[in-house]
């Protein structure tokens, strides 16, 4: 009797569980894909290779991928004073972003200088002549933003 129940459980158990699901796509943000006819192998950082089998009716993916990481888009650049006489302070707030580099650009689009940010994010403009300039700010999250500033005479 014990053997009968054991065989019955072992026979029914595989039909009670799900081992795979069919998804229309798999998102991979930290790796690369290798494609050959109807087979896609995805390699993800921290995970083993993932095999995807494609049929006209469905896509079957075997394995796991890391969850999708949504980049932070909520940051704000502040700069003051504008117009300025000597120097301007540029700060970034939100998303743990920092200023990586800055370019000072004249009205004709020529890059005058590239500026590495100081600890206080102070940009010294004392050497340039009065006029309208642009500062392209490059952030650590690979985004950039251009600011319009005015330099007035002392």
User: Hey, what long-range contacts does 70-79 have (CB within 8 A, 24 or more apart)?
Assistant: 71/141, 72/96, 72/97, 72/141, 75/139, 75/141, 77/137, 77/145, 77/147, 79/135, 79/147, 79/149
The pTM for the full model equals 0.53
- What's the pLDDT at 90? 92
pLDDT for 130 beyond 90: yes
Domain residue extents for the chain:
22-70, 76-151
Closest among 20, 101, 14 to 58, alpha carbons compared: 20
Q: What is the pLDDT at residue 15?
A: 63
| Ramachandran area for residue 87 (φ above 0: left; ψ -120 to 50: alpha; else beta) | beta
**pLDDT on residue 13:** 63
Query: Per residue in 16-60, pLDDT tens?
Result: 655 555 544 445 556 666 777 766 666 666 555 556 666 667 666
Interatomic CA distance for residues 13 and 10, integer angstroms: 5
Helix (H) or strand (E) holding 8: helix 2-16
State pLDDT tens for residues 57-111: 766 666 655 455 556 667 888 999 999 998 899 998 877 788 899 999 999 999 9
- The reported pLDDT for the residue numbered 23 is 47
CATH superfamily entry for domain 76-151: Macroglobulin (MG2) domain (2.60.40.1930)
pLDDT at 40: 67
């Amino acid at each position: 009797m014990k053997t009968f129940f054991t065989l019955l459980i072992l026979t029914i158990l595989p039909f009670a569980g799900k081992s795979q699901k069919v998804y229309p796509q798999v998102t991979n943000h930290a790796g690369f894909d290798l494609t050959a006819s109807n087979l896609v192998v995805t390699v993800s950082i921290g995970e083993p290779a993932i095999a995807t089998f494609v049929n006209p009716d469905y896509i079957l993916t075997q394995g796991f991928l890391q969850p999708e990481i949504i980049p932070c888009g909520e940051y704000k650049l502040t700069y003051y004073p504008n117009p300025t006489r000597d120097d301007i302070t540029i700060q970034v707030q939100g998303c743990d972003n920092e200023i990586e580099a800055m370019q000072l650009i004249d009205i004709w689009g020529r890059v005058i200088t590239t500026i590495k940010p100081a600890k206080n994010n102070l940009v010294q403009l004392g050497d340039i002549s009065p006029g309208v300039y642009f500062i392209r700010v490059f952030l650590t999250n690979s985004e950039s933003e251009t600011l319009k500033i005015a330099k007035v005479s002392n």
